[in-house]
Amino acid sequence: MPLLEVDNLTVEFPTRRGILKALDRVSFTIDKGEILGVVGESGAGKSLTGAAIVGLLERPGRIASGQIRLDGSRIDNLAPEPLRRIRGRRIGTIFQDPLTTLNPLYTIGRQLVETMQTHARLSDSEARRKAIGWLERVGIPAAAQRIDAYPHEFSGGQRQRVVIALALCAEPALVIADEPTTALDVSIQAQIITLLKDLTRDHGTSVMLVTHDMGVIAETADRVAVMYAGRIAEIGPVADVVRRPAHPYTDGLMASIPSLEHRVDRLRQIDGAMPRLDAMPDGCRFHPRCPRAFARCTEQQPELMAAGATQAACWLHAVS
C-alpha cells in the first residue's frame, strides 16, 4: 500500500465571479521512501496540492471532492486539532521562505525541543541532546553553541537547514517540501538538495518535492508529476519523463530549458500562456497551445492513460 494516496482531489475557490476550480481531479500516490517531484509553472496548482494535503489551504479555498489517505486512513476530512497533530508528527513541511516556519522570538533549540516533545515523550535534556544531533546532521557548524541562537542570527542557507531539521526531527513519514531551494543561490541550493536527499534516504522518509525547477527534480526525485492548469499532465519515473516525455506540454517544457551542454540558436518555445482559472478552455486544457492538437482535444478532456513508461493525460496516447 502506498504511503500517501491522493484520489481525485478537487480544490475550489468560490468567488463572486463564480466557483474557480484550482485543482481538478488530481490523483497520485507516493510510496514509502519515495521522492515524488511535482513540477509546473506558476499557477499550475503544485503548491496548492501540497497545501491541501497538509490542510493549509488558504481560505476561501476548500476541498470540494476527492480523498487524501495517509497509510490508508483519510486525512482530508479531519477536524483542525487532529490534523494539526498529523502535521508535524506524520507530515513535515518545508517552505520556500524559512522565516514563515521559524518563530523569530524563540531560539532554534527551543523550537526543535518543543516540536520533538509534542510528538514524543522526551525529557528536556534528552530532547536538547537530540536537537543538537539534528543540527549536526543538517550541517550547522558548532551545533552545541548555535542551538541557543535566534533565527535571524543564521544566513539564508543555514536557516533552511534548520527548517529541514525542524521538519524531520519528529521523524515524519512524509515531508512536503515546497520550493525549498528557490530563494537560495545555486551553490547553496546544491548543498540543501543533497542534504534533503541524504537525510530522507537514511530515515526512509517519503518526500513530495514541489518546485518549478526541472533540474532539481531530475537530480532528486524518483518519479515526477508534471502539472498544468490544475491537472496532472504527465506522471512517471523521472528518467522517462525527462528523456521521453509523452505529453506535448512536458515535451515543450523540457525543450524550452536552455542547456548547459550545448548552445542552440533558438530555444523551442511554447507560445501563449497558461489559461487563467476563470477562462479554462473546453477539452484538454493545453490544446490552445499544443502543436499536436486535433479535433478530439478541443472537445473531450483526457484522463491519465498509459503512454510508454509514463502516464499522460493526452489523446495522442488513446488506444483506439
Partner 1 sequence: MTQHHRHTLEAVAVSHRFDVSRPWLQRIFNRESKRFLRAVDNVSFEIPTGTTFALVGESGCGKSTIARLAVGLYEPSDGDILFEDQPLSSARAQPALRRRMNMIFQDPYASLNPRWRVSDIVAEPIRAFRLATRPNEVQARVGSLLAQVGLTMRDGEKYPHEFSGGQRQRISIARALASEPDFLVCDEPTSALDVSVQAQILNLMRDLQQRLGLTYLFISHNLAVVRHMADRLGVMYLGRIVEQGPAETIFRTPLHPYTRLLLDAIPDLEQVGRSRTPVGGEIPSPIAPPPGCAFHPRCPLANDRCRTEKPAHTTTGDVQVACHAVQEGRDA
What residues line the site for partner 1 (CB under 8 A)? 41-42, 139, 155, 157-158, 185-191, 193-194, 197, 212-216, 218-220, 238-239, 242-243, 252-261, 263-271, 273
The nearest distance, CB 139 to partner 1, in angstroms, is 8
The nearest distance, CB 60 to partner 1, in angstroms, is 22
The nearest distance, CB 169 to partner 1, in angstroms, is 22
Tell me if 6 sits within 8 A of 147, measured CB to CB.
Answer: no
The nearest distance, CB 175 to partner 1, in angstroms, is 19
Pick between residue 54 and residue 221 the one whose CB is nearest to partner 1.
221
123 exposure class (CB count in 10 Å sphere: 0-12, 13-18, 19+)? exposed
Q: Which helix (H) or strand (E) holds 138?
A: none
Q: What are phi and psi of 206, to 5 degrees?
A: -85, 150
The Cα 256–Cα 260 span in angstroms is 13
Pick between residue 62 and residue 201 the one whose CB is nearest to partner 1.
201
The nearest distance, CB 222 to partner 1, in angstroms, is 8
The nearest distance, CB 160 to partner 1, in angstroms, is 12
Pick between residue 212 and residue 296 the one whose CB is nearest to partner 1.
212
The nearest distance, CB 208 to partner 1, in angstroms, is 17
The nearest distance, CB 230 to partner 1, in angstroms, is 15
Pick between residue 250 and residue 311 the one whose CB is nearest to partner 1.
250
Pick between residue 28 and residue 228 the one whose CB is nearest to partner 1.
228
The nearest distance, CB 43 to partner 1, in angstroms, is 9
Pick between residue 103 and residue 256 the one whose CB is nearest to partner 1.
256
Please count the other Cβ atoms lying within 10 Å of the Cβ belonging to residue 15.
Answer: 11
The Cα 95–Cα 97 span in angstroms is 6
Sheet holding 4-15, edge to edge: 18-30, 4-15, 62-70, 73-74
Pick between residue 86 and residue 293 the one whose CB is nearest to partner 1.
293
- The one-letter amino acid code at 19 reads I
The Cα 180–Cα 161 span in angstroms is 10
- The one-letter amino acid code at 208 reads M
Nearest to 85 by CA among 185, 170, 27, 143: 170
Pick between residue 50 and residue 252 the one whose CB is nearest to partner 1.
252
User: Which own/partner pairs from 149-158 qualify as long-range (CB within 8 Å, at least 24 positions apart)?
Assistant: 149/107, 149/108, 150/104, 150/105, 150/106, 150/107, 150/108, 151/98, 151/99, 151/102, 151/103, 151/104, 151/108, 152/104, 154/108, 156/98, 156/183, 156/184, 156/188, 157/184, 157/185, 157/188, 157/191, 157/192
For the record, the C-alpha cell of 187 comes out as: 551553490
Pick between residue 149 and residue 190 the one whose CB is nearest to partner 1.
190
